[in-house]
Structure 1
Amino acid sequence: MNTPQHSHFAEDVLKGLTTKEKHVSSKYFYDDNGSRIFMQIMQMPEYYPTACEFEILSQQSGNIFDTINFTTKFNIVEFGSGDGIKTRQLLKAFMDKKAQFTYIPIDISQEANDALQQNMKTALPNLDIQPRTGDYFEVLNELSAGTLPNLFLFLGGNIGNYKKDEAIDLLERFNADMKKGDMLLMGMDLKKNPRIIQLAYDDPHGITRSFNMNLLQRMSRELEADILSDQFDFYSNYNPKNGEVNSYLVSLKKQSFYSKVLDTTFHLEKDELIWTELSRKYSFEEINALAEATGFTVKNNFLDCRHYYTDSLWVK
């Protein structure tokens, strides 16, 4: 492996494409082109999660603040804040209620944090914002030593990308670094008519297909691999019984490709699958069970008008 900046991606592709059940992590969707395609996905009428959460945070942030009922100054700590457009609705509503808080967005990208800080300062000039760049748990550990109560945000339905045991592990780790009375507001997509979910993840415009196929283009470019994208297709399936959307790249023929960076030839059978993403949907019973299993209590579920999605407020 001759280029250190590719090491995580390269290592994960090597591991994922040499196992029996091939996979590449969905976190690698988001190179520059992938991020642009995801912006298109979020604007599709079929892709409801973004609009649902925006509606909740635009219309119910005042209720969220009243439910939290912190009586002293507090921190709002966001895991993976992204562009912050949805969060801005919550922060503005809290500021309108004269809440005294510090907003602490955590992201592994310094560039993302710099852009977020600039955008927030433009929209909310009086916001006390203190971004932290790094690992969630390093920052969490520092905050747990402080005396102020914390509201943690884990928005965007991101918990749905974790397998059940991984979700439990992550939430237990969050809980371990939280103080008694701290709260977690978590975006969670709800089980609903399977056709609505299927269309959101396998849209008629082919945008989600492009999003997945871009992963092959990234591998070709960064790992110097001779992949022929037209020898692959995209497949996504929602199982209403277990609430899982699973997405795959499908090899259309028996084929091999070589990566110079990895100095490895990868082999695929005809119709072999490369798993790319899990997106889990929850029932209210499953939300309660997940909270209980990880040391939390569900305080309230804030829903959009169609009841497609919840921002679920948990207390330690």
Structure 2
Amino acid sequence: MPLVELHKEPDGSDNKAAFAKDVNEGLSKKAKSLSSRYFYDSRGSQLFQDIMALPEYYLTRCEFEVLTDQKEAIATHVGAEGFFHLIDLGAGDALKTKILLRELSEQQRSFDYVPVDISGHAMQQLTQRLRQELPQVQVQAVVGEYFKALEWLQENKSERKVVLFLGSNIGNFNPDESLAFLKVIRSYLGSGDKLLMGMDLRKEPKTILRAYDDASGVTAAFNLNLLRRINEELGGNFDLQQFSHYASYDPQAGAMRSYLLSRRKQEVHIEALNKKFTFGAWEAIHTENSHKYSLEQARELGQATNFSIESVFLDKNEYFADILFAVD
């Protein structure tokens, strides 16, 4: 089936304007910041693939373990009530989702697969690969933002929905944002619908810190790639050698935070903004949060957004959970 395109920017101008606007707002604040949404250009995406293969980065391995070891139970839970749309928010290459697609097919569950991603290229590639690898699965890829895709589904598809939000993406939101995000997701779901969401759990702080500050420096390169993007796309003159990656973990808040530190007092000009920004020696630019949850916090988050927990699927070390939330 052809892609459903809810997000069209053929010349990239809207993307560039949004990028410039967000950079200007973030670097103009007293406590400077850059949005983590801009990590993922082509180089950033490749660097993140490299991060996932690092020995320190436990998150991806743990979720693969959960999905591989408990795929039968997960497929039974989501597929027991008849036909459903399996909606994969931020599908990318669907590497983890394919574990469930194969299991659902083997169990002969009645469903179709609706991957959602902002990248039309990624969705075109995924559709082609699934046509070859899992021709029995009906695929309708949607290009667009999560909420626009859910709105389109609500208007065009009346059957039951199972939403996937895998990885630890919910952790990138602060507590208020995660609450708001899940409330919007819930508003598009009805009785019998479900949400399978990945959540990185609280654990020994050094284990978490190593995952975001690896010995080989791949995470540092990933963080610094934000400045390279500004240089290449907005005409910035950041000297990447004069900034360094810094990661810290607050065990009380359960918050992993990443920064870029200016190694000296310096001034940076960004041509697209026609503006200069001054950085003090060791001034920080905040780039990412990654919140870690306890299972009790997950239950409370579900209650606050009118979800109930149907089942919790854990890896053997209980580092990571895929939690199945239900709509009563």
Q: TM-score scaled to structure 1, two decimals?
A: 0.97
d(CA) in 2 for partners of 1:126, 1:83: 18
Partner in structure 1 of residue 17 of structure 2: 7
Q: Alignment partner for residue 137 of structure 1, among 133, 147, 168? A: 147
* Matches for 1:13-32 after TM superposition, within 5 Å: 13-32=23-42
- 1:150 aligns with 161
Query: For residues 92-125 of structure 1, what are the alpha-carbon distances to aligned partners after superposition, in whole Å with 9 as ceiling and x for unaligned?
Result: 0111001010100111221111011112222212
The equivalent of 2:7 in structure 1 is none
Q: Which residue of 2 aligns with 1:102?
A: 112
Residue 278 of structure 1 corresponds to which residue in structure 2? Answer: 289
Structure 1 stretches of 5 or more lacking a match? none
Cα deviations by residue, 1:110-156 (Å, 9 ceiling, x for unpaired): 11110111122222121111111122222212333543111100011
Task: Give the C-alpha shift of residue 4 in structure 1.
Answer: 5.2
Given that residues 79 and 104 in structure 2 are in contact (C-alpha distance below 8 angstroms), is that contact kept between their aligned partners in structure 1?
no
- Whole-Å Cα distance in 2 between the matches of residues 313 and 115 of structure 1? 28
SS in 2 for 1:261: helix
Alignment of 1:172-183 (within 5 A): 172-183=183-194
| Residues 1:212 and 2:232 are matched in the alignment | no
Residue number among 293, 304, 323 corresponding to 1:312 in the alignment: 323
3-state DSSP of counterpart to 2:48: helix
| Pairwise CA distance, 1:75 | 0.8
Q: How many Å apart are 1:5 and its aligned residue?
A: 4.7
TM-score (norm 2): 0.93
Deviations 1:164-200 (A, max 9, x none): 1111111000001101110000010000111110100
Which of 175, 181, 185 aligns to 2:196? It is 185
Give the 5 Å matches for 1:35-184: 35-145=45-155, 146-184=157-195
More deviation in 221-230 or 62-71?
A: 62-71
Letter in 1 for 2:178: A
**Residue equivalent to 2:10:** none
| Residues 172 and 288 in structure 2, CA contact (< 8 A), matched pair in contact too | yes
8 Å CA contact retained: 1:151, 1:183: yes
Name the structure 2 match of 1:227: 238
**Counterpart-to-counterpart distance in 2, 1:104 and 1:5:** 24
Q: Deviations over 1:234-262 (max 9, x none)?
A: 10011111110000000111110111111
Q: Matches of 1:280 and 1:123 in 2, distance apart?
A: 35
Deviation, structure 1 residue 230: 1.1
Corresponding residue to 1:236 among 239, 247, 259: 247
Q: Secondary structure at the match of 1:196?
A: helix
Aligned to 2:210: 199
Is 1:246 the equivalent of 2:257?
Answer: yes
Q: For 2:87, what is the secondary structure of its paired residue?
A: strand
Question: Residue 179 of structure 1: SS of its match in structure 2?
Answer: coil
Any gaps of 5 or more consecutive residues in structure 2?
A: 1-12
Contact 1:29 1:35 in 2 (8 A): yes
Which amino acid counterpart does residue 71 of structure 2 have in structure 1?
A: S
Deviates more, 1:211-220 or 1:135-144: 135-144
**Would you say the 8 A contact 1:144–1:179 is kept in 2?**
no
Q: 1:240 & 1:121 partners in 2: Cα distance? A: 45
Aligned length: 314
Distance 2:48 2:124 in 1: 21
Q: Structure 2 CA distance, aligned partners of 1:215 and 1:31?
A: 9
CA contact (8 A) 1:70 1:149 kept: no
CA RMSD of aligned residues (A): 1.2
Q: For 2:129 and 2:63, locate their aligned partners in 1 and report how far apart those are by CA, in whole Å.
A: 20
Cα–Cα, structure 1 residues 151 and 4, in superposed 2: closer, same or farther, change >3 Å? closer
Do residues 265 (structure 1) and 276 (structure 2) align?
yes
Amino acid paired to 2:212: Y
